[in-house]
Structure 1
Amino acid sequence: MEQTEAKEIYQMGVEALNDCDYRMAGAYFKNAAKMNYKPAIAALEKLILEGKYKNVQSKQTLSSNTESKELFEKGVDYYNGRNNTKIDYVKAFECFLSSSIDGYAFAMNWLGYCYEYGKGTKKNLDSAFGWYEKAANANVANAIYHLGRLYYDGKGVQQDYNKAFGLFKKACDLRESLAYEYLADCYFYGQGTKINYEKALQFYLKVKPRGVIEYQIGCIYERGLSTGSDYPKAAEHFQKGVNFGHAFSMNNLGALYYNGEGVQKDYNKAFELFKKASDLGDTTAHGWLADCYYYGNGAKKDYQKALQLYLKAKPNGYNEGQIGWIYEHGLGTPIDINKAFEHYQKGVDFGNATAMNNLGALYYKGEGCQQDYNKAFELFKKASDLGNTIAHGWLADCYYYGYGTKKDYQKALQLYLKAKSSSHNENQIGYIYEYGLGTPIDINKAIEHYQKGVDFGAAPSMNNLGALYYKGKGVQKDYNKAFELFKKASDLDNKTAYAWLAECYYYGNGTQKDYQKALQLYLKGNLYGYTQSQIGRIYESGQGVNKNLTEALNWYKKANESGEDCKADIERINNLLNKKPESKSIDKDKVETKTNSNKPIKAYEGDKPYIFVSYSHTDSKVVKEVLQMLINQGYRIWFDEGIRAGSSWTENLMNHIKNASHFIFFLSRHSINSKYCLKELRFADRRNKIIIPICIENVNVSDEIDFILGEVQMLFKNNLEKEEFMEKFNSSNHIEICSR
């Protein structure tokens, strides 16, 4: 009977609705709804949500309408199982709906929640939004928060961070604790407002502690987003997050232990935390755990596990670079340059400088791709601009060799100096300073950087530093040190060092003469004109091997083809093989100077290495006898009779000393007291010339001359037979380069 009456009242409401009399329609629907007539309830709810019927109670009515409040409380009992009531979401929904229709704002908020999550009714986000909005308009703080959340997530309404932020702020002002977290997020991420980490921290600290909140607080302290970095506080909050079982907190606390930030460095604890976070599926932790296996930090090195984890990890530039490196070098997996190339490229796409450098190196070497110096240069440049110190070195190589760009020694030097110190880079710097490539020659700096290269165990640096000691260039000549360095470099299979070590054995510099070892080392080293001619001389003289003129001839020919002028040697050997007399033997006949075979004594002018001669004119007769012997042997000699009339005497002498490779100083009582001879000797010493002192009479030299000549072996012409004198002269350092 009641339902019939309710139906009639409902029909009257429908007629009023058709006449657009919403106030009257709402009144009829409300009366029918009180009789639990479902169509009337739905119609009234629709009118209310459309804003055509206002039913929200005033604060006075809200507190005094006992029936609405009782319905609401009863609904809460059903919803939460409160007061020994069995949970029943349907009945809870009905109570909230009836109370809401009666205008009870708190019930409207709960009703919105039921619609949002489908509790006791079908999920309906439009209705949820409508009821939240009604309750929010009545200043219900929790409803304001829920309404903000729908705007924040774009749930049932278009996403709008500005509206969400305004609602969260209002809810927080009303001390709605659930809104603190969302308002903190808005400040943290700059959603609906400007980023403000200080305010974000204030609100996160107000939120009821749980894993994600402690993690956010920890991140602010770790990164120094509010004030300066505070690693101990970060560690404290990450630990709280870990206690809640929060994976991100585990990962970040692990990172602090890994780096020793805010806590004592402990790879074992870091590994344990990364492992837990990784087991919980944290993809960032996969990467950290991979690092532990890769570097053996907190766990045994295991490249295979590292690769598996890097591949599972959240893709980023660093991880892709690591994967590429593992595939390139075959660490725990077969070498796969194609996969290395692929992952380096992914790293480059992320903007990772290391991946750019490594991909550049593949293009530079033509591995996994066609060699392309231009692409390599471009990648090295990008990585270098991002501050990658290894890329500085590769880019320097491009400028040094002119790969992918124009040669520029100045830029190369600047980049080598900025680059991560390495054996190659230090050697390159030393070489640039030694030879003045794009910068003034600076032997001291060359020595300094070669020494750094030696400290890295670099064979080229050992060889180059050894050469400086051997020549006494920038350092006091020291054959023992030179030998030691050449030996180390040679043991590391440096081809250039083999030749230098061979020189030491050949001439007995820094070690005993050993022609057999010299030959072996010349043959092992880089074969070029000079070393090939040396091999020829060994076979010709039979020093340390069986004399073999045919073999000597072959090597002289090879040397000649390599650019070493060995025509005279070839002619001499051919004459010997054909049993013809010849005037250029290195045997006893070679040093005999007959008047009819003497070549005119004439000062050499040309571009080839020659010997500068310093002597006192008072000794001209004896000096010219020696010069005649040297010229007959095929040596290129320059002495002051080569100065042309009208030219500057001093300038000529200086230029010829500068351009000479060797410097003979004839010692006599006249020369050691000649200011001109002493000037020439000093000048030659400053220019690091190879000085050959020839004593033509017994003299007591000054301390200065003694210091300049140092440990150089002196040739006593006055005490030696011609043959012995020439043999000793022929063994002077690199003197063969001055011979035709």
Structure 2
Amino acid sequence: MWRVSVAVLLFCGCIFAQKRDAIIHIATEVEYTYSYKKRNVIWGSSQQTATFSEIVSGAGFLIGDYIVTARHVVTGRVPEQILKIGDIDFSVEGNIIHSSACRIRVSSNGFVPRAIYICLDKDIAILKLAEEDRELLQLQQLSLSTSPLSIEQKVKAWGFPATVNPQVKTDLLVTSIKNEWFVLDCPLGSGFSGGPVVDEDGAVLGVVSRSEKKQSRIVKLSQRDLSRVILDPYWDTMFISNDADLSTILHHENNVFWYRKMAAKDNSQAMYYLGLCFYYGEGVSQNYQKAQQWFEKATDYKNSSAMYELGYCYYYGINTAMDREKAVLLFTNAALLGNAHAMNTLASCYYYGEGVDCNYKKAVKWYEKASLLGLQDAQHNLLHCQKNGLEDKLIFVQPKLQLAATENVFSMLEIGQIYLHGIQNHHKNFREAKKWIWKAAHKGIAAAQTELALMFKDGLGVGVDHKEALLWLTKAAEQDFAKAHYYLGHMYRGGMGVEKDFKMARKYFEKATENNDADAMVLLGIMYDRGEGMEQDVNKALKFYGKAAELNSTTAMNCIGSCFLKGVGGVPNYEKAIKWYTKSHELGNSSASFYLGNCHANGHGVTQNLNKAIELWETSATMGNITAIKKLASVYKSNELGVQNHHRALFWYKKALEAGDKEVRSKIIELIE
């Protein structure tokens, strides 16, 4: 019978809401778990549990793209007292709500929210609707009041008191003001819960929370409440469903406090959530270094979600050097622990050969495992494998495009990077790259803002515009994004889009080093090494090179070798130079291979060996090092080392010409003639 009543209630709401389009009716079916003891004089008391349902009715109003209401309208009221009925004691066990029984209807059209965002420290909830529902919803947009609240101020409140017909109470007086709430001089019925209290201009001051005998408590509503309550769209764990999951809530200040306390007790899930808070700047300042540290701590406790996030950091080089092999190892460990997202990503790594040898059989295996766990992306990937065969590699971009089209900002960035860098066997398309990266950048994603800046800096898909690049880098740097600090320093050092300024360059490089950016450490070392804008200091240069080398920067290792080759304090140390050049060379640094070849050619720190020198120069030249290419051409042309070979000289001069060195044309003509 009550279900019929609710249906009538909602239907009538559709009619009356058209008359008062400032607010909207919300009805929620909430199921509680409770325990009770039944007393018996012979057998004593017996403990049992049961459930009951109730309908919570209230109001809501539209601000921007979201409906605002009171939290208890969504979650229901849990009696604080023990109810005594005859010989039975009832006790509701906390706020235990079964999401499958929680349904929310917006009365104008009976919409179901896409997501429910809960504010932990205030009686506020925000409902997110699907885009198509927002377009159909004809509600008057309300805005927040910018005027100060005062005692004796006249306000009015909207609600649905014991009726589906929206009503307004006017000439209400503010009698008391606290930090987070204020009090009115009149009780408001339960149907007013979640409705707006507005000033004389119709701007929202707060949300109706609780009605008492002679007064009502109103929760203040601020722009900060609206912005901090919204969950990060990347995770999107709350989706369009009749079973809106109320257990997923925002990572804000209150959560951070409790996460820290739980993490101190070795709770790996709390460590993981702390990592997310720092990663997205939810409740704390965004800090990728701290995010990575918490992910690493949780990973030590075998937390699969943290392993997956840490793998993501290494995969894209977020606050660390890009290391696809290490990312694959982390994805594998997380997948073996049952993480479906890690399984899907690991499958894609095998499919595209990213960080691991291409292996279609293993790709399908992991897609199947993730599909069995209900992951839709994996099911989609597996379906296309079955339909189109394994050779259709571009199909895996489609799920990401679909996510990006639903305003998922991180999918926008990922799609943009796929087109920009041509990864995942996808052809480069700078126009498409700019389209998606631009969208993510305008949504405030620092990594996207940095990518967009580099496109303007290098003229990829857009005209070269250093001032525009500087603008976007500055936006990203304001979010403490290390790579943005690094590139800003790079632009000030080179005078790109701004006057050359070594002092500003040093400032931004130092900021980047605070977040463990190895590239910034290297450039700071170079500035000290050369005395750019400061007194030359090789020891300080070595200090920064050393820090970067600890982060596996081959460039830093090469620079350390050069410092010892030139001599610290004027005295060369060939043994140490050889040591560092060799480390860098073995890790694939072409400059180190070239300089190591010079050492063998000149007998610096090693026995002179021309054949070894040529071998090392050819290794460097094969990697595209223009200095090594020209050196080889010169050596083979002039017979200066007794290995004259005009055919080899011509080969390497042509390589130099292909690399853009037009000055070698005369050398080529000379050899041909």
Which TM-score applies when normalising by structure 2? 0.44
Q: Which has the higher strand share?
A: 2
Which TM-score applies when normalising by structure 1? 0.40
> Is the radius of gyration larger for structure 1 or structure 2?
1
Q: Which has the higher helix share?
A: 1
Question: With CA pairs under 8 Å and 6+ residues apart, which has the higher RCO, 1 or 2?
Answer: 2
